[in-house]
Amino acid sequence: MSTVSAVDRFDVVAADAVSLAVWVDGGGPPLVVVHGSIQDHTVSAPLVAELRADFTTFAMDRRGFGASGDGGEYVIERDFEDVAAVVDAVATRSGPVVLWGHSYGAGCAMGAAARTGNVSHLVLYEPGLGLTYPAGWIEAVERVVAAGDYENAVVMLFRDILGFSEEQIEARRGDPEWPGRVATAPTIAREARAEQEWVYRPGAFASVSAPTLLLSGSESPPEVKSATDAAAAAIRGARVHVLEGHAHIAHREHPAMVADLIRRFIAP
């Protein structure tokens, strides 16, 4: 593929006719970027900035986020299909892709990799499939969102699930992206329920043939680490790299380090 000198965008139509926005940056072999919960593709900007000299990055907005549309009743398989559709669209232009996913987006990338043969390498940062949520937590988030208190729903996710301190949450409130996170609050419960209800069926990911690397923060909550280990066990030959001293957002706080791990993983 020729170098893209400035950020560009194209759209992919999902199986249920939802339009998915894909943002293109950089130059080099293709790398598809799948964001996690309560954020659109812009959350990946620090990592994209580190990768753009070596890769053409394709950062998608998942359904319900950013410039992408949304469908009717939600099931996680729609997200699997969406990511696979983006991968296939990119591969048509440039050949097999490196597929990166973070958190909920890592689970979506896993599901996509089982649905397409166009993934050359798979990099997953703490996928949440099978993650256990506190009893009653999902219902509590639904009540908070129904009452219109979107910000509190986002705080609950950071505090109760990701283990952020009050100081860390206050720092996030100062980020320019905070209003965008708050706007995505209606997606929190549906994604949490999809993760919690997920059951790994034997052989469900047997079709994933791409070399697979999972990243796990040494400081992440035990439930998150367990979900990562379960994902690794589901993919033949997958290996786990522990990010010592980091938790769930090393790609934001130390993107150069994560970018270097990606480069070294896919190096011939």
Q: Summarize pLDDT for 8-29 with one digit per residue, the tens.
A: 999 999 999 999 999 999 999 9
Q: What is the pLDDT of residue 177?
A: 86
The CATH homologous superfamily to which domain 4-130+198-266 belongs is Alpha/Beta hydrolase fold, catalytic domain (3.40.50.1820)
pLDDT-derived band at 128 (thresholds 50, 70, 90) equals very high
pLDDT for 221 equals 87
Pairwise pLDDT comparison (2 vs 143), residue with the higher score: 143
- When pLDDT is averaged across residues 182-191 and rounded to a whole number, the result is 95
pLDDT at 54: 95
Q: Where are the domains of the chain?
A: 4-130+198-266, 132-196
Q: How far apart are CA 200 and CA 131, in angstroms?
A: 11
Q: How far apart are CA 81 and CA 59, in angstroms?
A: 16
Report whether pLDDT(5) > 70: no
pLDDT of residue 29: 96
Ramachandran sector of residue 245 (left: φ over 0; alpha: ψ -120 to 50; beta: rest): left
Q: With contact defined as beta carbons under 8 Å apart, do 67 and 21 qualify?
A: yes
Tell me the C-alpha distance between 141 and 218, whole Å: 28
CA distance 187 to 184: 6
Spatial strand order of the sheet with 97-102 comes to 4-13, 19-26, 56-60, 30-34, 97-102, 119-125, 212-217, 239-243
The average pLDDT across 94-117 equals 97
Does 6 have pLDDT greater than 50?
no
* For range 167-182, the mean pLDDT: 90
Q: Which of 200, 262, 186 is nearest to 233 (CA)?
A: 200
Does the pLDDT at position 7 exceed 70? no
Look at 1 and 98; give whichever has higher pLDDT.
98
Share of the chain above pLDDT 70, in %: 97
- Separation of alpha carbons 46 and 253, rounded Å: 8
pLDDT at 3 over 60: no
Write down the residue that tokens 């786990």 correspond to: 240
The pLDDT value given to residue 4? 39
When pLDDT is cut at 50, 70 and 90, the band that residue 210 belongs to is: very high
Token pair for 150: 């979107």
Q: At residue 235, does pLDDT exceed 90? A: yes
Q: What is the pLDDT of residue 162?
A: 78
Q: What mean pLDDT, rounded, does the chain reach? A: 94
**Spatial contact of 235 and 106, defined as CB atoms under 8 Å apart:** no
Structure tokens at 116: 């397409």
